[in-house]
Chains A and B, each alone.
Chain A
């Protein structure tokens, strides 16, 4: 286990590269979800204001 973490002396580099990748991938999932929710909210408001103007 210890050996696995040390990565033959390259541990700091390997783990920071993989960690950074993980962070960026996770952030992207979050950002895509936020983007969709915002668009949904906007669309909902637009529909409501249209319906309000229609009646």
Chain B
């Protein structure tokens, strides 16, 4: 078990295994997303309060889930890379940033689109939307810091410190924004979350969310392969691999 694990953590092995797995994972992801979206748009009944407008949750909730998941994964990988000096972990962390930022952007955008018919405005300083906005800033800061360095190993370690400081802060930011929100908005706004959940509404949400997670995994594997190529200095296996 452990030897297998160590083997996987060596860049050449990961490069090869990820190369084989990526198309399959992406295939599973896309079919699950298709099934989930079909279930959400066609099979699930309309919500009794929000009508068909509630169907936006089938993209909003998976995006919001992945925005948090990707930041956590990024920070964990960065921490492992920083402490045990594992190049592969840094490569994974670097690969999470762009997909993570796009999911955060999606969560914000779909939340705002949902808000127009439900709240009557495109933007409401709702606790969840505000948290997502700040999370997007954190992602953009991470990407900006990474791009500012010419030396890739320095970029890895500096951005790892930032990701770790960020992940400690994420729950605090979330809590403070919730706290701020409940104080400033006495009236409860209809929440952007799955309403009166019935099974016919829930299963498409779960399938889409799991599908999106697979999709994210496929993207990260693909990008990590690229990041490995950028970091690899020993030419032997690369030569075999590339020619």
Interface of A with B (CB < 8 Å)? Answer: 4, 7-11, 13-14, 16-18, 20-21, 24-25, 27-29, 31-33, 35-40, 42-44, 46-47, 50-51
A4: chain B residues within 8 A (beta carbon): 41-42
Instruction: Tell me which residues across on chain B come within 8 A of A37, comparing CB atoms.
Output: 226
Asked if residues B229 and A43 are in contact (CB atoms below 8 Å), the reply is yes
Q: How many A-B residue pairs have CB under 8 A?
A: 100
Nearest Cβ on chain B to A24's Cβ, whole angstroms: 5
Q: Is the interface of B mostly helix, strand, loop or mixed?
A: helix
B106 touches A20 (CB 8 A): yes
Interface of B with A (CB < 8 Å)?
26, 33, 37, 41-42, 46, 51-53, 55-56, 59-60, 63, 98-99, 102, 105-106, 109-110, 113-114, 116-117, 215, 219, 222-223, 225-227, 229-230, 232, 235, 238-239, 242
B52 engages A8 (CB within 8 Å): yes
In contact, B230 and A42 (Cβ under 8 angstroms): yes
Of A7, A8, A28, A42, the residue contacting B229 (CB under 8 A) is: A42
B37 x A35 contact (CB < 8 A): no
Most buried by B among A7, A10, A35, A44: A10
Interface of A (DSSP majority class): helix
In the bound complex, do residue A9 and residue B232 qualify as a contact, i.e. CB atoms below 8 Å apart? Answer: no
Residue of A whose beta carbon sits closest to that of B110: A17
Instruction: Please tell me if the beta carbons of B242 and A9 are within 8 angstroms of each other in the complex.
Output: no
A47 and B114 contacting across the interface, CB-CB below 8 Å: no
> B215: which A residues are within 8 A, CB to CB?
25
| Residues of A with C-beta under 8 A to B98 | 28, 31
Q: Which residues of B contact A29 (CB under 8 A)?
A: 26, 219
Residue in chain A with minimal CB distance to B63: A21
Complex: how many Å from CA A31 to CA B229? 16
Given A9-B51, A10-B117, A21-B42 contact (CB < 8 Å) = no
Interfacial chain B residues near A31, Cβ < 8 Å? 98
A48 to chain B, nearest CB (A): 10
A36 touches B223 (CB 8 A): yes
Q: Is the CB of A47 within 8 A of B238?
A: yes
Instruction: Decide: A36 and B52 in contact? CB cutoff 8 A.
Output: no
Q: Are A7 and B242 in contact (CB under 8 A)?
A: no
Would you call B238 and A18 a contact (CB within 8 A)?
no
- Asked if A13 and B227 make an inter-chain contact with CB atoms under 8 angstroms apart, the answer reads no
Given that A24-B106, A27-B102, A32-B222 are known contacts, is A44 also in contact with B242, CB under 8 Å in the complex? yes
Which residue of chain B has the shortest Cβ distance to A7 in the bound complex?
B52
Sample (13) of A-B pairs whose CB atoms are under 8 Å apart: A8-B52, A10-B51, A13-B113, A14-B41, A20-B113, A32-B219, A33-B222, A36-B225, A38-B226, A40-B242, A43-B232, A44-B242, A47-B242
Min CB distance B42 to A, Å, is 7
* Complexed CA–CA distance, A44 and B113 (Å): 45
